[in-house]
A and B are shown apart, each in its own frame.
Chain A
Amino acid sequence: MTNTRARSALLALLLITAACGRDDGETAPETDDETTTTAADGGDDGGEDATALDAGGFGDLEAVCQDGDASGATAQGVTDTEISVATISDKGFDGLNKEIYDTALAFTEWCNEQGGILGREIVLTDADAALSNYEPVVQDACERDFALVGGGAVIDDDVNNVRVGCELPSIPGYVVSETARVADLQVQPVPNPLDRIGAGRYQAAKALFPDGIGKFGIMTSDFASVLFVRDQLVNTAEDLGFTVDYTLNYAPAGETGWDNFARDIKDQGIKILEFIGQPANMAALDQAFENAGYRPDLVLLSSNFYDETYKAASAGVAGRTFIQSLYHPLELADDSKGTQDYLDLMAQYNPGGKVAQLGQQTLSAFLLFAQAATECGSDLTSACLLDAAASQEEWTGGGMHAPQSPGNTEPSPCFLVLGLGADGFEYDEEATRPTDGDGLYNCDPENVSDVSD
């Protein structure tokens, strides 16, 4: 409904809570150079490239989708010829996160063209929760599908315990609520646990702006779930030696106090500012800094700012900015076959679809699903799928992102820093301090901080 649009501002923020936690990690082995995927296995074999998109491969993965003779109605939604899956999104709410379904559609088209999962075609259902229909779409899937793959809903609190109740496995694109983040029968390709925070950007800030750690401020919207994240971040920053001088809550929609905030920040002499919220709001603050004639030395942002809106509004205006991300930047797709394959996949199989980082996360989930389902073959059951997915190590989604340990609890410590220059987003090598040789990521285990509520 028209009237429900008020929510989009608020709820996009919920996403950020997911985005913030996303870079968490602990001591995953970071020895490898697999994070850069330019010279992936497939390349060395010579001859026909088994990782090529049109050979059923993706990024550095071989045989993601291929013809075969897997058979048997081994579970609900699985037949000799088909596997039914559903992808949850909120696209019915003003196209919120529509990249999720756009990507799911492209993947399915492509995969089925390659022969499906060992000969079984993927039948994709659009489970559009449109923000308020999470339970009904899960109920529908309970009666129809083999699994939920690649999706996510902003409001995904399953208080009625529907999905686990009907034993529907899930390989989600993202999860938000506390119940969803620790839910059973679920393997997250990019884990987002509750009790650890990826603090890579703080380490980077500390290294490059040592003077600033005594003058640190943090601005969040006054949406309560974001405040929860804010408190976690404040604790983390303080643990790392920052002095949190300034915290401010702004209204996610309709805030008019930006000039006042900028003056406040100027008066307090804040040197490093972390901003949590929507790009349009940061753009307003950027303008207010201009008016006040003051700008903190550094602004820290989460990966949701890697976004066209922010680029359009603040490129050329923003000062030094660290956007923490764990995805290989789209701007550098030339260096990563996985990232380039993502762009090609979208261009070829869903040209009108939206290209965005959350779409890559959906794709990572689908790739993980395809790998696991292929491993299970004719024994494709819920248990087999989840086991096979969770046993993938150093999962990079074919090279789209830093290595992960799929599941609910074992995140990777890697991150990279993007800045916003006059022409758009740029990889900031100086700030990232990559630990993996010629790779892009910093995978120092120190990047991860424990947080207690």
Chain B
Amino acid sequence: MDEFLGLTVLGLCTASVYGLAASGLVLTYTTTGIFNFAHGAIGMLGAFAFWELHTQRGWPIPLALVAVLLVLAPGLGVLIERLIMRHLTDAPETVRVVVTISLLVALLGLGLWWWPSDEAHPPVQLFRGEVLDVLGVGVSWHRASAVVVAIVVVVALRGLLFRTRVGLDMRASVDSRPLAMLHGARPDRSAALAWAIGSSLAALAGILIAPVATMNHIALTIVIVSAYAAAMFGRLRSLPLTIVGALVLGLLESYAIGYIDSGQQYFATFRFAIAPIVLSIVLLALPSALLRTRSGLASKEDIPRPSWGGALATAGAIVVASLVLASILSNGDAIRAAKVLGLAMVALSLVPLTGFGGQVSLCQMSFAGIGAIVMGHHGADGNPATLLLVAVVCAVAGALVALPSLRLSGLYLALSTAAFAVFLDRWGFGLPPFDLGPFGWGGGDPVRVRLFDNVLPVRAIDVPGLDDSGRPAQLVVLAVLFALLYLVVVAVRRSGFGERLLAMKDSPAACATVGINVTALKLAVFSLSAAIAGVGGAVYAGTLGSVTPDRFSLFESLPLLLLGVVGGIGTAGGALFAGIILGGLPIAIAVWPFLENLNRLLPGTMGIALGRNPNGAVRDIAERYAVLRSAPVALVGIVASVTIAAILAVTGSLTGWGLTFGLVIALVVWPQVAEQLVARRAPRQGTASLEWAGIDRPLGADELRDIDAALGLEAPREQVPV
């Protein structure tokens, strides 16, 4: 009984912090319709800012608290609302999810930049050293205060939302923004207020949990997964139910610590799987009607349908490029390049799933991890046939993950896949070997399941008969594999299956109406995607040699998704882009160390910029190169530069990264030159040729503005990205 009491008291303390974080999440969602994945990262920054002010700058605790909770955090919230979220009001769900995830990644990068993790940051205790005795249980005042604060905050929030005019505005604007405006509400102001309060609550939760969760950037950020689950209890709307959710989670986790034998090798850390499991259950239990997230505007993405000729040429070019690289790169550099391809394959798995099917997945690296496990245990000799087994196992895993998520889409699907990733991260992948079965027919021995067992050695792919003692051969093998997977994706795009996926993305309801089995479609695309991710993970692990589970964590999947989307999730180019940034930036940092902090912020900021450019960067670039066709001089120039570089490379006068960067510069400079040349020839295609807009050039935002101007129309307040 004593133990039960103790666990309950401590569980309540944790629950209060979850409740605080979750109510901030609910507040922003009810007011702006945006689920803030970056909520935990804001809390992390709050905790570090508090530490900085108090410990480093010597501000007294109350002053530092006021500064963080009433100035810095709300300021950050308003800033985020003004600069980013305001432009997302009409964006598709996928974009909103990706942008807030990008914000998470960017803020995490900021935290690591300002407060490097190799320096000591002892957490600040409020009321240091004072211990409160609750029913015989010693609780620090710091933790106990969370309960009081949580009660006050929740009552105040409830009052704000339901008893004040501001609260009414807040609730009204999410239901119908135009209607609320007609009634004199100012949604922008409500939204800014909601973001300010939400961020402040996140910071408060961060400060309160810091001494318990330690001042670790990731740990502070991930505590929020429990808040996600709690918020989902309240269906992202109800504060009281959210608090119930927080209580359930806090207490369950506390009892799990107390009652699960701590020396037990399988379930000792099962408590970390509780939040994702609860989250999944709540998502499953939500009535379907609630699951129709706001559709936003129709998708503006344009998924090209490559011709077979073009696709084969692209695949061939990838292989030829790898052959050239293999002949000039050193062994070490060849492995680094091969790693890029491994990551690109995992990113490629998102093309059918997210690009065609419009399903957001935050667990692609988890599938990659499963692929690595299969490869590690069954591909000891590096036999490429093992990849087939990898694909099958991962396809099954993909179907299993998809099953509970079938009714879900958009935000809820993202949360559900995140839950799966966290489940594996924090518990599943770390399990020691265990037995399954014996399975029914014929008895037999149980199946021994081995996962990572610490560090899992994975052999590089070894094609029989091919001498790959030198690493460059590995690069070519991976390029061939990437090209093959790319062709699979092209085949999907060109098939009826692909058309149905695109249809499902545009309107699941319409699909069902015309008799398309959306359930089967989702299941199939999840399996396909997981299989590709698994193969990618297996070869990626092979390029690393040995892998640990944390290489396949949620925080690995996030940049992959957002860079894939930034690159253009509808094409293989987007996947390569993601691979190159993730695998290539570290190489650039080795050459130019000052890039390190850029590297921390780049993926996140790129994703944040996404709201403006839903077709991705690769399409942009392709359009930039199109100008070369109108400037023969530049075209000759770029071909000549590349040829000269190739000759220099083959003769050995220019090698390694010098060559690579030289090429990159040539590829960047010539389109610029071409643009200048074209611009000089035809100074400005002004209003005179407006009737040709959309015929001789793409109909972009500039053209629309020009047309509007010519017609005497006022441009809309917020330009809709085209």
Interface residues in chain A, defined as those with a beta carbon under 8 Å from any beta carbon in chain B: 1-11, 14, 92, 94-96, 98, 128, 130, 132-140, 142-143, 155, 157-160, 177, 222-225, 227-228, 246-251, 253-261, 263-264, 267, 279-281, 283-284, 287, 290-293, 308-309, 312-313
Contacts and interface: CB of A to CB of B under 8 A. Distances in A.
7 contacts: A2-B599, A5-B217, A14-B455, A159-B545, A160-B545, A227-B432, A255-B213
Contact of A143 (B3, B213, B331): B331
B149 to A, nearest CB: 17
Given A227-B432, A254-B213, A257-B257, A2 B122 contact: no
A259 B219 CA distance: 17
Those 3 A-B pairs whose CB atoms lie nearest each other, nearest first: A254-B219, A157-B546, A309-B120
Contacts of A92: 586, 589-590
Given A6-B550, A159-B545, A312 B14 contact: no
B356 interface: no
Interface string B536-579: 00000001111010110101101100000000000000000000
Given A254-B222, A259-B10, A313-B122, A133 B336 contact: yes
Given A143-B330, A260-B257, A98 B546 contact: no
Contacts of A255: 213-214, 219
Contacts of B582: 1
Nearest to B558: A3
Contacts of A10: 548, 550
B254 interface: yes
B559 A1 contact: yes
B218 A223 contact: no
B109 interface: yes
Contacts of B544: 132, 135
Contact of A248 (B138, B214, B263, B458): B263
A263 B214 contact: no
Nearest to A143: B330
B140 A291 contact: yes
A132 B262 CA distance: 32
B112 interface: yes
Given A256-B223, A260-B257, A291-B139, A157 B131 contact: no
B257 A261 contact: yes
Nearest to A307: B120
B371 interface: no
A169 B424 CA distance: 39
Given A157-B457, A291-B140, 18 more contacts: A3-B559, A4-B556, A136-B333, A136-B335, A137-B332, A157-B455, A160-B460, A222-B268, A224-B430, A247-B263, A248-B268, A251-B426, A255-B214, A257-B254, A261-B262, A263-B6, A263-B137, A280-B214
Given A177-B546, A290-B129, A254 B223 contact: yes
Given A1-B582, A159-B545, A224 B454 contact: yes
A159 B212 contact: no
Given A160-B460, A256-B14, A7 B138 contact: no
Given A5-B117, A6-B550, A139 B330 contact: yes
A7 B332 contact: no
A224 B223 contact: no
Nearest to B209: A256
B555 A228 contact: no
A139 B332 contact: yes
A159 B546 contact: yes
B32 interface: no
Instruction: Tell me what chain B mostly uses at the interface: helix, strand, loop, or mixed.
Output: helix
Nearest to B382: A160
A279 B119 CA distance: 12
Interface string B201-215: 000000001011111
Contact of A140 (B105, B331, B453, B553): B331
Interface in B116-150: 116-118, 120, 122-123, 125, 129, 131, 137-140, 143
Contacts of A293: 131, 138
A180 to B, nearest CB: 10
A247 B262 CA distance: 7
Contacts of B332: 135-140, 143
A94 B112 contact: yes
B604 interface: yes
Contacts of A257: 253-254, 257, 271
Instruction: Tell me what chain A mostly uses at the interface: helix, strand, loop, or mixed.
Output: helix
A258 B335 contact: no
Nearest to A11: B548
Nearest to A166: B331
A128 B123 CA distance: 31
Contact of B109 (A2, A96, A177): A2
Contacts of B215: 280
B600 interface: yes
Contacts of B139: 259, 291
Interface in B307-355: 330-333, 335-336, 339
A293 B656 CA distance: 62
B272 A251 contact: yes
Contacts of A2: 105, 108-109, 112, 555, 559, 599-600, 603-604
B35 interface: no
Contacts of A248: 262-263, 268
A260 B218 contact: no
A14 B556 CA distance: 20
B548 A259 contact: no
A20 B435 CA distance: 31
Nearest to B55: A312
Contacts of B138: 263, 291-293
B324 to A, nearest CB: 19
Nearest to B431: A224
Contact of A5 (B7, B112, B459): B112
Contacts of B117: 5, 8, 94
Given A6-B555, A9-B216, A94-B118, A1 B143 contact: no
Contact of A249 (B10, B268, B589): B268
Given A260-B257, A291-B140, A313-B122, A133 B555 contact: no
A69 to B, nearest CB: 33
Contacts of A228: 454
Interface in B252-279: 253-254, 257-258, 262-263, 265, 268-269, 271-272
Nearest to B258: A260
Nearest to B120: A309
A96 B7 CA distance: 37
B2 to A, nearest CB: 8
B585 interface: yes
Contacts of B220: 254
A430 B442 CA distance: 65
Contact of B269 (A140, A155, A251, A290): A251
A119 B605 CA distance: 51
B412 interface: no
